[in-house]
Amino acid sequence: MELNIDGKIIKLSEAGWLEDLSEWSEAVAHGIAANEKVELTDEHWDVINLAREYFQEHGTVAEPRKFSKLMKDRFGDDRSDSKYIYALFPYGLIKSANKIAGLPRPKGCS
């Protein structure tokens, strides 16, 4: 699987995960989001940017409970539960938001 972003071929795994994390960009995120049937809004970017910040700081993706707490701390109760995340990303934080954010595929995640 691959994306063509401004004439550059970006390799994705069979499941749509970015093969080379250093190739991530907002344009790549839009391409992956299109594959996931997600149209990115400012609220999506809040989740994506927070997920990327956590990964850069800790070297791992945030577990859903931890991420929910981070969302609550930054954006309040209304934007922190799993129902909110699933409304934005139909396959959830791990399978959809992290994929669009260009983060590595967690072990055991298809």
Q: Which residues are catalytic?
A: 109
CB 98 within 8 A of CB 91: no
> Cα–Cα distances in Å, from 29 out to 42, 57, 60, 78, 81?
13, 20, 19, 25, 23
Find out whether 16 and 35 touch, Cβ atoms under 8 Å: yes
CA–CA distance, 22 with 75 (Å, rounded to integer): 28
Three-state DSSP at 42 gives helix
